[in-house]
Structure formats: C-alpha cells, structure tokens
Structure 1
Amino acid sequence: MESVPLLRYLLFGQLSRDTILPLEGKPQVDIPGGSLFYSAAGLALWGNSCGLVGRVGEDYPQDWLTLFDRRQLDRRGVRTLPEALDVRAFYAYLDENTCQRDNPVSHFARLGEPFPKSLLGYANPTNSLDSRTQAAKLSLRMNDIPEDYLDATAAHLCPLDFISHSMIPPALRRGQMTTITLDPGEGYMNPIFWDDIPALVKGLSAFICSETKLANLFLGRSTDPWEMAEAIANYGCEFVVIKRGARGQYLYDSVSRVGWQLPAYPSKIVDPTGAGDAFSGGFLATLRETYDPLEAVLRGGVSASLVLEGSGPFYALDTLPGLPQARLESLRGMVRRR
C-alpha cells in the first residue's frame, strides 16, 4: 500500500483558465491560473509538503493539474466535478495599477492581436455579493478535505466565497491546525456583511487583505488603514496584513499593538497576476516555520516580487538559486515601525 505523505501546509483556493494581456510580452492565452496555483508557487519558494484543496469541472485540462505533481505539491484535495464549469478569467493590464477584466474583444483589437477562440462567449465578471446561505458549485465543503490533510498544522484560505470561508476554518480546527491565515473574498468585503466579519476573523493567525477590499468593508466608517487593522485585530486575530501593491505592506500585531511598514521589492513588473496570492503562500510558509510575522511579510513580499517579473504561476520557481534570499536580505533594513 502506498504511503500517504505527511503534509505541513494546506492551501484552499480556486483554479482558472487565464488569458492575460500583460504589461510586457505577448498575450498569454488560456494558461493555468487561479489563486491555488499562485499561492502554491509563493509557498514553494520557502517550504514544501503542501496539500491543495479546490474544485474544477470535468472540462478543466487535467494535464494542467499534473503541473502540481512536478513541484511535489499534493493535489488529492482538488476535486473534479462531473460537469463542465466555466472558470475562464481575463486580465488586461493598462499600467501597474490598472487591470480591466471585461470586454476582451476591444483589448485585443487595441493591441492588434487576433481574438482567441478560447474566449468566445466569455461573460464579463459581475460584482455580485456572496450568499450567506446558498453554496455555489465551486464553493468548498468540509468533505472536500482528505482526512489525512487534517494532520497538517498550517493553512491559508485564498479569496473564496463567504460560505467557503465560514465552513473551512472550523473543520480545520478539529485537526492539528495551529496556524490559519485568510485573504477575504471581494463578494463579502462589503458593509452589508459588517456584522458577519467578527465570527469569520475570530481565531485567525493572520487576516491578509488588500487595501482596496478593506476600504470597501469600512466604507462610511473609517479611511485610516491602521484604525481598520486594529478593528479587525480586536475581533480575535493575531496579525493583520494590509497589501498595498507597489507601496508594500502594513503589518499590525494585536499582541504588542505595534504597526510596521514594509516596502515592496522594486521588481520590473511584467505581469501582476497572482502576486497577492504568491505573497500569502510565502507568508504562510514562514509564519508556520518561525512565527515571526515580520519575517513572514518580508518573505511573502519576495515571493510576490518574483511572480511579478513574468507570466504563468510557476515562473517564480525557475528563478536563479539564491535570488529569493538575496532579495530578502536587501529588504530587511527597510522595515519601519509605525
């Protein structure tokens, strides 16, 4: 009987079929994508023994899933549903801060590029709110988690719907889990969900969120990022990380009540897709290893910096040996206390 690997980390996220018009280089048409790919890449720069949990339809290219195998990433938690599901995603980058996800025909025409058949019938994404009670087909369930995965001790939940984020952490706490980090989904970072957030945050090791999503939640209540971070931490979360793109990160420690400003590594930005998820993967691996949140943010930032410099989820893993460590050392001296 084949032995089951002992896993250290778990990642929960989405898998997609991406078409990207990057800032530099040729269009990337129908390539593997999604938060699960990018967070796994960010984690693999600093750790191994990782299990993956996600859902895809039967039409998702199975050879893409074997990319995880080549990187020694355990995908037994990726469930293929017995139906076709449209998981196409489109990203057109106009500059480092502007990404448009609709009307791909106009973007390909603007660049003088032929429109790919893989995007025929593509539906523009909607900004609808999540349901509190109705699970979607791609919502993650507790029974998606292989039993032996519960022996892992650290997990990160990439942006998912409200139901997935409500159900998964309690299931993990029944196992050996000591470290849980979460990046909230856009579908519930809205004032309408204000009263639901405390229960979601309570008990998390770290709440990792973009400045934009946090501002959406606090609309009409606060515009001060430190005030927002402290409010989230007071719900029972140890660390709050605010991702600020090229401006770096804010870290708030609820125990010491100290805030830190950390810079972003000055990468040459080719394709920002997945950088935030790569950050979270690197953060989780480091927090579990060191339980030093500053070190975790620094290494997460290095993971993001490498993903930014090329297209495709595993571009960062083909970097020169020693480069991640060199970038890490260059960032250490630039950390500032609030």
Structure 2
Amino acid sequence: MKNYAVTGSIMLNNIKYADGSTKEGLLGGGGLYALSGIRLWTDQCHFVGDIGEDFETLVAPWWDGNHIPRTGLNLCHRHCVYNQVNYEPDGRFFEHSIYPEGSAHNMYMVTHPEQIEPVAGDLKGLSMVASANPVEFRKIGRMREKYGFKVMFEINTGNCKAEFLDDILECLQHVDIYSVNLPEAKDIFSQETEEGCIAAMQKIGKPCFFRVGIKGSYMVMPDKAWFVPIVRGEHDIDPTGCGNSSTAAAFFAMCEGEDPLMCAIIGNVTSCLNAQQFGPMPVMDAALRQKARQMAEDLYRQYSGQ
C-alpha cells in the first residue's frame, strides 16, 4: 500500500491570541499539523524531516501515542524549534524564533529532497510546507516524475509576497496543487479582493486550496472555484495549525480521487476538529476518523444537493 508523507517543522509554540490571552509550550509546527491532518483520515502517513534530542520528552508522547511511525525522522539537533506566535484581529499571525534565536530558524530544520528520496518509491502523495526554492523543487519534480506521486506545496508565509512570485511560479511547475490563505494570496498576486485572487489563481492553471479564514475555503480549479463555509465545532478554541492540517487533508482527498467539493469539505472538517483544543488533535483514532467521515458525507449531501 502506498503511503503519504509530509514535510515542515515540528516545534513548540508560545502563542498570544488576538484577545490578548496567551498560552506557552504548545506542541505545533506546520509539518506536525499537516501530519495530523492526513493521519485523521488514514494511518498511512509519516513525517520526513529533522528533529532535536528533546523530541523524546516533548513530542514523543503524542507521536507514539498516535502510533505514528518514525520513518523519515532525522535526529540532527539538540532542540526542536521554539516559536513565539502573535495573532492579529484579522486572523493573520506573525512569528519569530525563540530558539534558535534570530534568522537561524529559517534554515534550522528544512527538509531537503535528499531526505525524501529514500521513501519516494513508496509514496502516493507528498505534502510540503516549504519555501519557494526553485532549485529544490526541480529535484522534487524529478522524483515526482520518476515515482509518480502527487505533491502539495503549502507556501511558507515568509515567501508569500509579490517579490517571490517568479520563484513561486517556477516551483508550481513541479507540483500538483498548492495552498495559501487570503492575506497571503493578496500579497503574492497584488490583489485587493478575494475575487481578484481567485482570478489570478485560475490564470496560473494549477489547483489551489484557498483558505479564507473564518469564512471557509475554496478549491480553486482552472475553470471553477468550489466554496465551502467554515465548519463550526462545539468548542472552537485555537485556530493554530488549522491551515496546515486542512491543507494536508484536502490534498489527501484529492489523491484519493474525491471531487473538488469534497476536497474542500474534508479540509474544513479537519480544520474544525483541529480547533477543538489547544495544540494538535490529541488522539486520532478510529472513532474520530468515523466522526470526521460522517461529518464530511453529511456536508457533501447538503452542498451538492444529493
């Protein structure tokens, strides 16, 4: 059976929310949240990337408790990343590295194509939270052609600016789908409106899972954009990681042959379940998977009219 893999960061977060409240030492990181987003729907997913020695005390209880394989983990540092994340009222967030201090964070735990190569032959899909580096993506593209897996590119927020558009477009030649949120899309495409962003995406001709905050998300295809409103839960607590987890889940749905509407729904259901607690979903078991699937099927009937 083919597997899924994700890349990105594993970290601890100190978070200051838009209302001024704070939480410290929460498990997170784009890679970890993306991993949880796919693991909600299938056990056939692992992480590829770097970890620190403190993984064993900080992350392993959650990791091993959810029976996640350690395939692809590369121990190469003393510590995992530690970030400060500050949310703005409009849903945007800004982060800086507590450890390692300063700009060293940008290269501290970057997953390179050479780390993916050993597992590439077993992949059905690779979900990447990554910077827009055309050199690295050309390598990914060659693996994609050789082994036949699909690639999701969730663009790092730091690269979501108009000055990186050419690099982003070059990277997109080597992937099957990408994802950004509304503020990021406005900056990349120099647009003022949601509609303008969608039009710019459709000109590129590459599918995009387009997240629009508390409004919901779109699956944007070259000829049509499917919108699904946000899925509210009983205890919406923490939006951290909702973009990462929903992006990876929508990608999983696409790889499994779901239509664009269901892809967006599966992304939104994942975001909903991710937001029900501080940090990632604590236990991704058969009961939660069944609940998620039922939520998705009910919403599909509602929005498709079937």
Q: Same fold (TM over 0.5)?
A: yes
Q: Once superposed, what is the RMSD of the aligned Cα atoms?
A: 3.4
Using the aligned pairs only, state the percent identity.
18
Once residues 75 and 260 of structure 1 are traced to their aligned partners in structure 2, the CA distance between those partners, rounded to angstroms, is 36
Task: Show the 5 A alignment for 1:62-101.
Answer: 64-65=59-60, 67-81=62-76, 83-84=77-78, 87-91=81-85, 97=91, 99=93, 101=95
Indicate how the Cα distance of structure 1 residues 51 and 7 shifts in structure 2: closer, same or farther if over 3 A, else same.
Answer: farther
1:177 matched residue in structure 2: 148
Scaled by the length of structure 2, the TM-score of the pair is 0.83
The answer to whether the aligner puts 1:202 opposite 2:173 as a matched pair is yes
1:57 matched residue in structure 2: 52
The correspondence for 1:282, drawn from 249, 270, 279, is 249
| Structure with max Cα Rg | 1
The correspondence for 1:193, drawn from 141, 161, 164, is 164
What are the ranges of 5 or more consecutive residues in structure 2 without an aligned counterpart? none
The answer to whether the aligner puts 1:313 opposite 2:280 as a matched pair is yes
Equivalent position amino acid for 1:307 in 2: N
What are the ranges of 5 or more consecutive residues in structure 1 without an aligned counterpart? 1-5, 103-120
1:122 matched residue in structure 2: 98
The answer to whether the aligner puts 1:229 opposite 2:198 as a matched pair is yes
- Greater helix share, structure number: 2
Shift of 1:228: 3.0
2:265 matched residue in structure 1: 298
Once residues 123 and 144 of structure 1 are traced to their aligned partners in structure 2, the CA distance between those partners, rounded to angstroms, is 23
1:216 matched residue in structure 2: 187
Deviations 1:206-228 (A, max 9, x none): 21111111111122xx3343443
1:325 matched residue in structure 2: 293
Equivalent position amino acid for 2:51 in 1: V
Shift of 1:169: 2.6
Shift of 1:48: 2.3
Scaled by the length of structure 1, the TM-score of the pair is 0.76
**Higher alpha-carbon deviation: 312-321 or 210-219:** 312-321
The correspondence for 1:163, drawn from 95, 113, 133, is 133
1:272 matched residue in structure 2: 239
Once residues 324 and 139 of structure 1 are traced to their aligned partners in structure 2, the CA distance between those partners, rounded to angstroms, is 31
Structure 1 SS opposite 2:25: strand
1:8 matched residue in structure 2: 3
Equivalent position amino acid for 1:243 in 2: R
The correspondence for 1:263, drawn from 217, 220, 229, is 229
Equivalent position amino acid for 1:188 in 2: N
